[in-house]
Structure 1
Amino acid sequence: MTDAQIEAQVREVLYANMIEGQNGGYTFHYTKPSPGTYPFQYFWDTCFHVYTLTALEEYDMAKKHIKSLFQLQEQDGFVGHILYWKHPFPARSTDVFQLRPKSLFRLTKPHMTALVQPPLVAEAVQRIYNRTHDTGFLKEMLPKLKAYYNWLHQNRDFEGEGLLSIISPYESGMDWKASYDPVLNFGPGRANWRLFLKVMWLEMGNFRRGYNLKRIYKQDNFIVKDVAYNTIYAQNLHALAALCAAAKDPDAATYKARAERCSDSILKYMYNPQDYAFYDLAGHNMKQLRIATATIFFPVVLNNIPVHISEAVLERHLLGQDGFHVPFPIPSLSVREPAFNPRESVYIWRGPTWVVFNWFMHRFLLRKGYKEEADGLLLSVKKLITKSGFREYYDPFTGAGHGAHSFTWSGLLLDMIKASQQKTEES
């Protein structure tokens, strides 16, 4: 397909999945990630949609998506990872345990889950502001953003090291990520019903504790510092600091300091010099989970990571032959891991290729002068979508599409195309 054809198809998929309406005194506007599989408003999915909408120059629509995301924000700043606007029950029975017990008494009204997702929203707002220079939108959203990131800082940085913990595999956005298996006392090996039961038992435990974070942390059943989650957190604290500076808000220095603290702790605790990899951490002792998922090189995008470390990580894993060299990169798990499964499965993120990994690394590679490598990731995604359409994930060897159909995340290809075009023009 030509770039123009891709843009037309991205627009068609996004518009077909878009929802707008009113309920309970709220006006909502969002895009379903997929028509049937994922029908609700999801936190980091909304942020991905903002990137795609701004690539389409649909700025007003992007603003509506962000405003909708914060409509149910609680007074302490919390925003859940799924917003249910008109549907009283979750799409999956397993998601019931992600609600606070008190929410069960108000299912007919708009409500949220008790979980969070990767905090990509400051960068999403920054993207809109940088493209529109809409100071009114910035001033409206900035207090909400500050309250949200303050909630994360106050409630999920349990040890005061600047790193955030997740309390459920679903909070990372990578539900069945193989690096969580040791924490769940599963494996090593391919996922099966035993892993499912272990995750459900964990979810039920959080539910029984009323999502009381102090009790959950003390229990230490699943306290994980995810590499991707914290990399995104550090990036977005920098974005929040920039937004504060643009609004002449004195808190800019606070968020910049938090970003640097988080980045320093990522390097201190997550980097393994023997493996040239950044690993997730488990428990109160922050033990490295030495399983090579595709997030092992995420922190190279951070400014505080020394150049020699970034280059070593990239050369070993992303650009070299060490576990991630497949016809259609980037696989979500190294082919050398026992849990690797490239085929379609309910246990996702354990081998197949997702467009989001290519999108995330593409921006960094372009910025750092790895143009040939960036072009390779872009071309791979073009081939996947030309071959199999807009699917949730793809077989890294054959390019076959799997999972949800008309999946909006794959529309991030358009943002990759625009970024590549801009870089070419600048050169």
Structure 2
Amino acid sequence: MQGGMSTSSKRKNADDQGVLSDEEIRAQVRDVLYRNMISGQRAGFTYHFTKPSPGTYPFQYFWDTCFHVFTLTALGEVEMAKEHVQSLFEMQRPDGFIGHMNYWKRLWPGRITDFLQLMPRDVLHFYKPHMSALVQPPIVAQAVLRIYQHNQDLAFVKQLLPKLKRYYRWLAQNRDFEGEGLLSIITPFESGMDWKASYDPLLKFTKGKAGPQLFWKVLQVDAHNFLKGYSLPRLYKSNRFIVKDTAFNTIYAQNLKAMAELCQLTGEEEETHYLVLAKQTERSILNHMYDEEDAAFYDLHGHHFKKLRVRTGTIFFPVVLKSVPDEVCRIVLERHLLQKDGFHVPFPIPSLAVDEPAFNPNGSLYIWRGPTWVVFNWFMQGYLLEKGYQKEARELLLSVKRLITKSGFREYYNPFTGEGHGAEDFTWSGLVVDMINRENEDEGRGMRTSQ
């Protein structure tokens, strides 16, 4: 292309007035990641991970670690990303299970841990690294595939693949209770979206705006699980909190496809196995979660897959799946994301539709009930670019840039004002660098096509 700056570049420069440059954002993301990074050895384990936030979230979390892989590889820190994944699998059980939190050096936050460090060693001998009993969205196969895409290190894939197989086998055997390819979570904390408003009907919380009553209702679910010894057959039979979360299962389907690709790379015979599983999951998402009248994908609960009809920011997540018909994708996007039915805010994408009774855009203990999280924009941007919605994808990225310029790297943001709330120096917002790379790659493809 000749003749100076393209129309796209001119528009980008005009839109980006007043926001940090891509170079400034990359430098700040790198700084946040390195300040939150921790490594060491304990009880025969070697760990290396990034804390999502230095004070609020000081542990190694499952899907946070995977987000860090996407961010690190986008920054060119591929070897660091590999160490993060290896640390995540350090305490994997023989049956394949990996908890949603790895406790390496500390069990309690800040001040309590500082006090304990002053106590004699023989008092602390009981403490050993361990995992939680819960799971989180299974995005790790995509994280491993992303590392391979950046460095073509087939040896790394071969090292991780047996562990990945055990992990996804455990999920299929222990969380697909009905054998239809949909995984169930047993507490709100397993979705990664702790106080998600779609769970309110199941919790019998009808007040809309969250408060202490909701806290106790969620706590009762966890107490129930504890008293049942986290026995999954017993928990399923009791049917207290058996939820098939839309985002969780969309990610599961994506990662089954990633597992098939990893098997193909290494010549493993299970490629077809994972493709069959992925097809089943995608078919069940469409058959059970999609509501044609509302043009939305809803979370499900109970043995009979009852829809939880609350418009959270995940109602359009399954459109990223290849097997969802184009017409369904178009209707869902136009109804909710493009025309912004309930999602029309200056800083998208809100975690809950603004006209839902539970909507609260401000900072609160009860998160995921209105504020904007960068991860939603990151998740949808790639699909929009792929399907030709360049303008809409650009708006999602520009919104994230403006949020970071205005309020820094925060856990979540007010979707109307852009004010930052929750944890500070929060690493998830660093996914913006992956979004920047995607847009640059998409523009590069467009320029090559036009030449």
Q: If the length of structure 1 is used for normalisation, what is the TM-score? A: 0.96
Counterparts of residues 342-357 of structure 1 (less than 5 Å): 342-357=361-376
Aligned to 1:28: 47
Residues 104-123 of structure 1: pairs in structure 2 closer than 5 A? 108-123=127-142
Map 1:146-295; keep pairs closer than 5 Å: 146-295=165-314
User: Aligned letter for 1:383?
Assistant: R
Aligned to 1:390: 409
Secondary structure of the residue aligned to 1:182 is helix
* Residue 371 of structure 1 pairs with residue 358 of structure 2: no
Aligned to 1:331: 350
In structure 2, C-alpha distance between the alignment counterparts of 1:325 and 1:247, rounded to whole Å: 45
Contact in 2 for aligned 1:88/1:107 (Cα 8 Å): no
Paired residue secondary structure (1:338): coil
**Which residue number in structure 2 is paired with residue 98 of structure 1?**
none
1:92/1:227 Cα in 2 relative to 1: closer, same or farther (>3 Å)? farther
1:88 CA drift (Å): 3.3
SS of the equivalent of 1:127 reads helix
Whether the aligned pair in 2 keeps the contact of 1:89 and 1:107 (CA below 8 Å) is: no
Report SS of the residue matched to 2:172: helix
The answer to whether residue 78 in structure 2 is matched with residue 78 in structure 1 is no
One of 319, 328, 337 as aligned partner of 1:309: 328
Give the CA deviation at 1:321.
Answer: 3.3
* Matched residue SS, 1:20: strand
Structure 1 residue 347 displacement after superposition: 0.1
> What is the CA–CA distance in structure 1 between the aligned matches of 2:207 and 2:323, rounded to whole Å?
33
Per-residue CA deviation, residues 367-398 of structure 1 (Å, 9 max, x unaligned), is: 11100000000000000000000000000000
Larger CA deviation: 184-193 vs 75-84: 184-193
Q: Which AA in structure 1 matches 2:420?
A: G
User: What's the secondary structure of 2:315's corresponding residue?
Assistant: helix
Q: Distance in 2 between matches of 1:22 and 1:241?
A: 33
Shift of the 300–274 alpha-carbon distance from structure 1 to 2, 3 Å rule, reads same
1:100 maps to: none
CA distance in 1, matches of 2:409, 2:340: 28
Q: CA deviation at 1:210?
A: 1.0
SS, match of residue 295 in structure 1: coil
- Residue 163 of structure 1 deviates from its aligned partner by 0.2
- When normalised by structure 2's length, the TM-score is 0.91
Q: Distance in 1 between matches of 2:283 and 2:151?
A: 33
Q: Deviations over 1:166-208 (max 9, x none)?
A: 0000000000000000111111411110110011111011111
Task: Could you tell me which runs of 5 or more consecutive residues in structure 1 were left unpaired when the two chains were aligned.
Answer: 94-104
The aligned amino acid for 1:287 is: K
Preserved contact between residue 349 and residue 376 of structure 2 (Cα < 8 Å): yes
Instruction: Classify the secondary structure of the residue corresponding to 1:288.
Output: strand
> Matches of 1:14 and 1:281 in 2, distance apart?
36
Q: Deviations over 1:26-54 (max 9, x none)?
A: 11000000000000000000000000000
The answer to whether the Cα contact below 8 Å between 2:318 and 2:324 also exists between their aligned partners in 1 is yes
Separation in structure 2 between the aligned mates of residue 47 and residue 78 of structure 1, nearest angstrom = 16
Residue identity matched to 1:19: I
Return the alpha-carbon distance in structure 1 between the equivalents of residues 110 and 132 of structure 2: 13
Matched residue type, 1:255: Y
- Distance (Å, rounded) in 2 between the aligned partners of 1:274 and 1:13: 44
Q: How far apart, CA to CA, are the structure 2 residues paired with 1:283 and 1:10?
A: 41
- The aligned amino acid for 1:270 is M
Quick one: distance in 2 between partners of 1:198 and 1:331?
Answer: 24
Q: What amino acid is aligned across from residue 140 of structure 2 in structure 1? A: V
Percent of residue pairs bearing the same amino acid type = 63
Change (3 A) 1:118 1:92: farther
| Partner-residue secondary structure (3-state), 1:153 | helix
Structure 1 runs (4+) deviating above 3 angstroms are 88-93
How far is the alpha carbon of 1:130 from its aligned partner? 1.1
1:4 aligns with 2:17: no
CA distance in 1 between counterparts of 2:107 and 2:209 reads: 34
- Aligned 8 A contact 1:77 1:147 in 2: yes
Describe the superposition over 1:248-281 as per-residue Cα deviations: whole angstroms up to 9, x where unpaired. Answer: 0001111110001000000000000000000000
Over aligned residue pairs, what C-alpha RMSD do you find?
1.3
Instruction: Work out the CA distance in 1 between the residues paired with 2:126 and 2:319.
Output: 42
The answer for the alignment partner of 2:37 in structure 1 is: 18
Does the 8 Å contact 1:388/1:399 carry over to 2? yes
Relative to structure 1, the CA distance from residue 359 to residue 336 in structure 2 (aligned partners, 3 Å threshold; closer, same or farther) is: same
Distance 2:417 2:274 in 1: 44
> Quick one: structure 1 residues 90 and 12, their matched pair in 2 at CA, closer, same or farther if it must change by over 3 Å?
closer
CA apart distance, 1:135: 1.1
Which deviates the most, 216-225 or 105-114? 105-114
Task: For structure 2, list consecutive stretches of 5 or more residues without a partner in the other structure.
Answer: 1-19, 113-123, 447-451
Q: Is the 8 A contact 2:56 2:109 kept in 1?
A: no
Shift of 1:89: 3.8
Match for 2:204: what amino acid? N
